[in-house]
Structure 1
């Protein structure tokens, strides 16, 4: 009953409808199909549906990337290819996570730019443990490219089929399941400018033993760091100053302009300490002697009014900035299969991986009050300082000194992640019509972070403030001396006492773990035969439990370290789900209606944290004729809050607050909300003549950043309408067009203290989500505490069109192929509160340009093949809310890179490949907000790849 006697038609539709490839298929990956009659086409499960279907005809748009295409792209990490696709943004990557504490080196993908936590990543149709505690985003570093058979990307809401997190779509990574032999693959990537080099080695081996088979892969990959000093476009950065030609009152005269390019230096910090006295800035030589600081060329005042320098001594921004996180990966994966008989099979997947990365930033930078009697200073420095700022507080004089703690080393955040995952599944036939699949999956990630170059900040201030007492140099503070304080001489380089250094310096560690356990059973098959075909269905029951813990160093919990404070996290949730999916053939064999099928799916879920919810999908697949197919889908998807959003521990913060209930604020109230503000203040019992005290105005207020266990699920309604056209008058040509739109509501958002005040009192009543996050003293009515909790408040709309064309031509001189994948963004709005005035339009901004394109052309002849790829971003703007009086650098130019790769099969066992990536060495736009933005531009520059693949 599954036999298809028109295989050529099925294959053509397979490639065109729902299985549109994301990169050019090399010629050796395409089978020639000439026979009208051929072997039966098996029913398979495609991403976006649990119903097995003929000829890979998916009910929703699916993009496919083949394993060969990954190799042809010249990358060794699947994330590097996904980040270049027009329908994705970067969630996190080594180019964007260097200064993201706890996340350095992570590789997350972000479909449609809706957020990596709203993109569900599966491996062989099953959930994979996340890469960071508290998050649901999968770290793609744990999936070795050598084991990838293909990647299926469904860019539409899929919660009805797969559950939470599939709001933007699903990335389903299908791994190889069998192999008989041994293959060694090694490659290297060398950059034209130093930094960012890569090495890769992979060993794949397996055996087919009849009923039993296995395939295993052991791979190692290393990518090196890129600092700003390694790239000329980062080192010589654009420098923004206050417009010296500003015309007051002219709305077209910008406040800020780009002055030029160079190494910008902040003079107020040096590696041995710096201070100003008598109009001269001083520092210390390595031996501790006082001397004038060597300053570079003074720049015009910055927008803040500060004067920096071009070159010279001080805090060099390029020297202390890093672009690409170094990353080492070791992956081991094995897939085993055993067939009990023709109808029943067991499969085992085992993943073990270890990744090491570190973020790096400048040494600690501190401001310290240095008094004129400091015994660590040379005599001429004491004499000079003793004449500055003399008064009751500092009778011996004092200066504010800026110190860059280079002797403590750069601050590094080492990330050591170890993943272990096992999945055991059973599948087979219940009878001639029904199949089953049951599986258990358990995953664990140990993610430990260690800090180097850290210091106890209070100890540091005590140790550098020394006096002479009874002929000995000691710490000034008696309590500090009793605790073991030793004088630390920082006024020079390397002249400190080792014991004093040890008392101040420290390393710190935070241990964390993630656990995921999943169990599921599904059945799919045909229920009954209708006049137009078989009514097919799939039913599934799933259970999932996730847990995350973090345990920071005691010094971090106490807030004793420079710029690092963290509290323990301990959270978990479980969810029970049941789903059903139906494919109902309505008509067949009518004029202009070869077939019409109704698709629907529904899922009910119950979370231990956010309660019960449902997701659904309805759609129509209309095959007009052999050339044209039209599809329409409408669905509701949900995302449950993750562990961090729910259970993040309290971390103290401080903020200056503007209280709208104060009488001094009355004249400046927004007239559209004035009545609401006054009514809400009165509803809380705040007197009409209320005014906070001067002490309240003169200080920042304490508050807490904390999770929110009252969060509910996010919701999204999406629609896709598209067609696939395979003209009969042109062989091997397909055109695919899909319009899509996502309307999201109840999105989780966090707010600053002042925004909490604003939205609390601008609301129609005090019965809103913002007011409970503010605490007032019941007697003084002053705001004494606030909670920056995530809440369900935001809305967004994202819409656009995906276009893909594919054409292949076979000739006597070789096979040619060309594929264009383009995404046009028609609409992107975001509203963090639901208030009309807070809606912002992000369409056409740098993060979301109107057009993103990828053009792939391929050629093959006998044992030689080559692929030329263009990646394009349309010109855009940094911010749609920009006005000409702000700056002169809002426009973002278009950006294009070209890659050329090739392969040569020396013989049946040996293949060599080479390539030039970013072959024209295209640098990012040399403007602020662009030149160092690894989210959108290639920071590697021109690089050369060379690889060898040998099969034993």
Structure 2
């Protein structure tokens, strides 16, 4: 209580001082990019910074020309010129980001917002990238919730910035900045289609702003509609059904296998035990010999043959987004401004996750849908039950769908005043946001109803086929509809509707914050004014989840008839643990537990200073030291200090050197601390039983997590030769080391599974597996019924590399050519999730090429503009694990070319630009590669392509932009 009172007093004191002090400009003003202007602006680019000094992202006192922290600035107009879909799609092409847009990642499950576009600097996790909107935190790292029409530029700080902004700024900061002074009217519209004739998208938007005396108002409305691509089979690289097989050993190396199939299931239904084993219902009700494919090194995976595969997984998630934004600024006096802004975003995304199936399910040998001759063969062999595997093409797939409604309201005062003989800036602002996420699984299987429906018998009273439970316990399953799974199209719609239902949950998260800051120059040294900033901030984040479907729900085995097998003590398809309680999950796919409202609050105070030490001496045009420190008090984990010290050395007008050393943090989110448990199915190859199948994975929260601490070092050089106008080059080294990184330790991890197996069941990690039988039993019956995943402060992490940026512009006749190149070299990306385990190095492995580069070439002549954007990465190793043995060599390099042709037309008192954009001009196919372990070994579930490659193919977009 005392600390809270002290903090509030300090905050109010800073606010009262700031009311009499100078305006604090947090964002730099950067010229917009229109036809004829440079492709982008950065701290290394000639003419990039405006003539007057302005504060940039990453500091509260330093200008872009003297910032010791690497900063890249790109105009939104330029981003959308080359990628006219979303700002997120455009940013993913920059080499400092890693991964794919959420829409083109492998299909997500329904335990979260799987379609969210999260930014991931350095590929060290999206949670370690802080996203700001006009210098304020957004509720989470999800770019979809940010309005684009009035967005002016994006500042990307690629260095630790926790001392300035607090938690999450470990890899850096991405600040989306709007044009707060827009006057006029602008509109845009576009339509796009792939070369395969699908994924027809459109975008519409309008924005306006006006100034009336001291009042400025502006607003925008925009809508984006992308229907997605709901089948990987729509592309050649999806139809090939590649997956990774093998054990990664010399005797059985990992290999990429084409046309893979799961041999213990089929689309008609394969019998896998009893006298009719290895026969397949190739047509409804009729068995034929199961045709095996070629062995792959995995016990249940073959290439070719009658086996099934997950044939309904999405290639691209549907995304529909409507955004509203408004802002008003009013100058109370020449020195005081008041402002307020608000946004509301309505987002919907949906994808197909995987095919609904019955795999390793038990069926009675006297099932009423089974033909008499097959029942007789079972009886002759003395078999009471048999096991079957079937993927249901008749039924809808597991289909996560999220509706996300977000509002953010903020406002404040800023101003300026003269103190200590100089101008000072101040601001006081507050923000409140609420995000309501309603996520459905549109076709989730009820395990209890499925068990009841599979046990079909003939009603002796009517002669009709009914559920056995209808005769033994009718009140337990009213309206039970028996299901026939003996054939490709054998299920009735009524039976499908009975066993599948829509499960859902609603999560509401809020973020409230208030902050104040003051900055100015209290005095000067012999080398110039010393700049100083003081800031304070209070935040509270909350989360609450409502759900009627709990991951702890179990099938009540006592309500079902006992299995007809001899001496059976349990029903079919319902397991009971040693404690006599059911271990059979009620819901086959994702459900999220209900969670009462939980909250985390934090209070912070920070100082920053920039001290000029030398000026205009030999070899030193200027030399400044920049330092910052932040004291943070978390309600849950106590206090932590973060700091940064940097140096900026201008040798002369041409050459500049810079370096920083910082201590940064990532605090556990309120969801990681108190979030609801979720369960989702995941394909695994179980080392214990040798079975490749799907098992439910339960992800939990952990209230004992503490902030992870990162130590970051950066150093670089900027060269702008006076002998070559309009040329610049910057090279920056970075090193990020984390000793107590938060990692999700999951039983689905192949390393965790190997540790458990090597310990013969004695390792604590074996507690992550819930099995129906003792560990000593290695039969298929002991396949896990539940796998656990828990976040822990247990991992170690090191990332090291170099960023390079080159810019050059020159005239060609009456036109202008602008060139820009960006390259990231990742030398090390080492991680160790568990002590004593092998150290992984993702740098240069598939998913994180060691060299990622983008080259943009632009030619402008009058109203005409032509852009080429080349994206390229080098070849990669197959795996980050040095012990893995692969049959294939390196994954091939890939390059993708994007082209834009635009023309400006004067009309309606303004300027319209018509454009044609082609992404992946040459329709380059992605390289074939699948990761090791987990779902990558499950045919059809995930696309076997390396992270970062284009999986859509050539894509055309035509559109217009109008500005008045």
TM-score norm. by structure 2 comes to: 0.81
For residues 772 and 755 of structure 1, do their structure 2 counterparts lie closer, same or farther at Cα, with a shift above 3 Å needed? same
1:82, 1:746 → 2: CA distance? 29
User: Cα offset for 1:594?
Assistant: 0.9
Asked if the contact 1:508–1:556 (Cα under 8 Å) also holds between the matched residues in 2, the reply is no
Match of 2:127 in 1: 117
1:274, 1:900 → 2: CA distance? 50
For residues 547 and 734 of structure 1, do their structure 2 counterparts lie closer, same or farther at Cα, with a shift above 3 Å needed? same
Q: Are 1:322 and 2:314 counterparts?
A: yes
2:681, 2:241 → 1: CA distance? 32
1:85, 1:607 → 2: CA distance? 34
Match of 2:724 in 1: 730
Match of 1:375 in 2: 368
User: Cα offset for 1:882?
Assistant: 5.2
User: 3-state SS of the aligned residue for 2:451?
Assistant: helix
- 1:518 aligned residue (506, 513, 519): 513
1:457, 1:757 → 2: CA distance? 26
Asked if the contact 2:847–2:948 (Cα under 8 Å) also holds between the matched residues in 1, the reply is yes
User: 3-state SS of the aligned residue for 2:144?
Assistant: helix
Aligned residue runs from structure 1 range 53-452, under 5 A: 53=63, 56-90=65-99, 93-96=102-105, 98-101=107-110, 102-130=112-140, 138-226=141-229, 227-238=231-242, 255=253, 257-258=255-256, 261-262=258-259, 264-266=260-262, 268-270=264-266, 273-275=269-271, 278=276, 281-283=279-281, 285=283, 290-292=285-287, 298-306=292-300, 308=302, 310=304, 315-317=308-310, 319-367=311-359, 368-377=361-370, 381-388=371-378, 394=384, 398-431=385-418, 432-452=422-442
1:642, 1:941 → 2: CA distance? 37
1:253, 1:46 → 2: CA distance? 56
Q: Please list the CA deviations of residues 727-769 of structure 1 after superposition, one character each: whole Å capped at 9, or x if unmatched.
A: 1111111111111111111111233569889999999xx9xx9
User: 3-state SS of the aligned residue for 1:877?
Assistant: coil
Q: Please list the CA deviations of residues 695-736 of structure 1 after superposition, one character each: whole Å capped at 9, or x if unmatched.
A: xxxxxx999753222222111111111111111111111111
Larger CA deviation: 611-620 vs 554-563: 554-563
User: Cα offset for 1:494?
Assistant: 7.4
User: 3-state SS of the aligned residue for 1:424?
Assistant: strand
Match of 1:585 in 2: 612
1:904, 1:280 → 2: CA distance? 65
For residues 823 and 188 of structure 1, do their structure 2 counterparts lie closer, same or farther at Cα, with a shift above 3 Å needed? same
Gaps of 5+ in 1: 1-17, 33-38, 131-137, 656-693, 695-700
User: Cα offset for 1:104?
Assistant: 2.3
Larger CA deviation: 842-851 vs 496-505: 496-505
Q: Are 1:903 and 2:902 counterparts?
A: yes
User: Cα offset for 1:497?
Assistant: 6.8
User: Cα offset for 1:593?
Assistant: 0.7
1:307, 1:163 → 2: CA distance? 48
Q: Please list the CA deviations of residues 276-334 of structure 1 after superposition, one character each: whole Å capped at 9, or x if unmatched.
A: 6657624274xxx53345977x531122234646376x6344x3222211111101112
1:189, 1:788 → 2: CA distance? 41
Q: Please list the CA deviations of residues 600-656 of structure 1 after superposition, one character each: whole Å capped at 9, or x if unmatched.
A: 00000000011100100111111111111111111110111112321244568999x
Match of 2:958 in 1: 946
For residues 854 and 774 of structure 1, do their structure 2 counterparts lie closer, same or farther at Cα, with a shift above 3 Å needed? closer
User: Cα offset for 1:549?
Assistant: 1.5
Asked if the contact 2:40–2:74 (Cα under 8 Å) also holds between the matched residues in 1, the reply is no
User: Cα offset for 1:93?
Assistant: 0.9
User: Cα offset for 1:853?
Assistant: 0.7
User: Cα offset for 1:812?
Assistant: 2.7
For residues 145 and 890 of structure 1, do their structure 2 counterparts lie closer, same or farther at Cα, with a shift above 3 Å needed? farther
1:840, 1:31 → 2: CA distance? 36
Larger CA deviation: 87-96 vs 162-171: 87-96
For residues 271 and 252 of structure 1, do their structure 2 counterparts lie closer, same or farther at Cα, with a shift above 3 Å needed? closer
1:524, 1:560 → 2: CA distance? 58
Match of 2:667 in 1: 640
Aligned residue runs from structure 1 range 672-711, under 5 A: 705-711=699-705
Q: Are 1:608 and 2:635 counterparts?
A: yes
User: Cα offset for 1:113?
Assistant: 1.3
1:855, 1:142 → 2: CA distance? 29
Q: Larger relative CO (CA 8 A, sep 6+): 1 or 2?
A: 2
RMSD: 3.9
Aligned residue runs from structure 1 range 466-615, under 5 A: 466-468=456-458, 469-473=460-464, 474-477=466-469, 478-483=471-476, 484-490=478-484, 491=486, 502-554=497-549, 558=553, 559-570=585-596, 571-615=598-642
User: Cα offset for 1:234?
Assistant: 1.3
1:66, 1:525 → 2: CA distance? 28
Asked if the contact 1:47–1:125 (Cα under 8 Å) also holds between the matched residues in 2, the reply is yes
2:479, 2:724 → 1: CA distance? 83
User: 3-state SS of the aligned residue for 2:218?
Assistant: strand
1:268, 1:399 → 2: CA distance? 13
2:638, 2:416 → 1: CA distance? 35
Asked if the contact 2:595–2:676 (Cα under 8 Å) also holds between the matched residues in 1, the reply is yes
User: 3-state SS of the aligned residue for 1:876?
Assistant: coil
